[in-house]
Amino acid sequence: MPKSPDSVLSCYDVNHDLLPDSVLRYAFRQLLGNNGYVHLVNVPESFDHVAFLKELGDFQPTPTGTVIGDLKPEADMDDIYHAQNRKPLVPHSEGYEFRGLPPRYMALWCVKPASGPGGETTMLDGQRVLREFTEDEQRHFLETPYTWKSTEGLARRGVHHTVEHPVLEDVDGERVFRFSYNNLVVPEGDDLATRLLKRGKAIYDESHVAVQYEERDMIVWNNWRMLHSRNAFEDPTRHLKRVQIAAPVSLASAA
């Protein structure tokens, strides 16, 4: 059974009053720092998701160029691994196939929840996986370049990216963890990378949290720390919005 989210913030306080902006931002940053993600609930119609997210940093276009994008099932994509269908995904960090640093933060908010079962966004703190690896093994992941490729779904839309990055990268005192269960190319005989994927998937399956959306709910996570995925669903009208937020310019140019 997936766990319930343990980092949840309501837009209303105990007296059913809307939180003042400054209090909402303070509590949000605190939860994001402590847990690596926040599930924002009881979101009023007046809430401006885009304006709120802009305070975290600059938005970054996806491989298809969308800056503020839609996640809606595409009818011709159900036979392939792709974010925009109804199939389950496997654990990954976002942007492992980008040339530079992956997005610092990711945000999804709900326009229309899936009716019926499924459609939860799932998440796990990457630390849960990394702590199974010794310091020497982690050094290997800092120093060894691996090949990462973009998804089959994007390939069908004409996007092919292949890059080389280590799994771990230290950027200005912060550790970046790239992970993809299906798009990290494991070299023949690389037992360590094989173990990373196998244990990563197993720990994810055992310990992830699953976020169920109400209308306007938003989740924001630190994509350098958290892994995420999605459960399958039926409803063809499920609709989320997605934004990726770049690393601050000073960090991106240092990498």
Binding interface with Fe ion (CB under 5 A)? 94
For residues 203 and 240, which CB has a smaller minimum distance to Fe ion in the complex?
A: 240
Q: Name 16's Cβ contacts closer than 8 Å, sequence gap at least 6.
A: none
Residue number of the CB closest to Fe ion reads 94
For residues 94 and 125, which CB has a smaller minimum distance to Fe ion in the complex?
A: 94
For residues 140 and 201, which CB has a smaller minimum distance to Fe ion in the complex?
A: 201
Nearest distance from C-beta of residue 121 to Fe ion, angstroms: 9
Nearest distance from C-beta of residue 143 to Fe ion, angstroms: 26
For residues 24 and 226, which CB has a smaller minimum distance to Fe ion in the complex?
A: 226
Nearest distance from C-beta of residue 174 to Fe ion, angstroms: 20
Nearest distance from C-beta of residue 176 to Fe ion, angstroms: 16
Nearest distance from C-beta of residue 183 to Fe ion, angstroms: 11
**Do 226 and 37 meet the contact criterion of CB atoms below 8 Å apart?**
yes
* Cα–Cα distance for residue pair 36/214, rounded to 1 Å: 21
What is residue 85's three-state secondary structure? coil
Whose CA is closest to 89, among 223, 230, 244? 230
What torsion do the CA atoms of 5, 208, 126, 191 make, to the nearest 10 degrees? 180
Nearest distance from C-beta of residue 227 to Fe ion, angstroms: 9
* Helix %, strand %, coil % of the chain (to 5): 25, 30, 45
**Do 99 and 187 meet the contact criterion of CB atoms below 8 Å apart?**
no
For residues 94 and 217, which CB has a smaller minimum distance to Fe ion in the complex?
A: 94
For residues 5 and 91, which CB has a smaller minimum distance to Fe ion in the complex?
A: 91
**Do 9 and 41 meet the contact criterion of CB atoms below 8 Å apart?**
yes
Q: Note the residue count of the chain.
A: 255
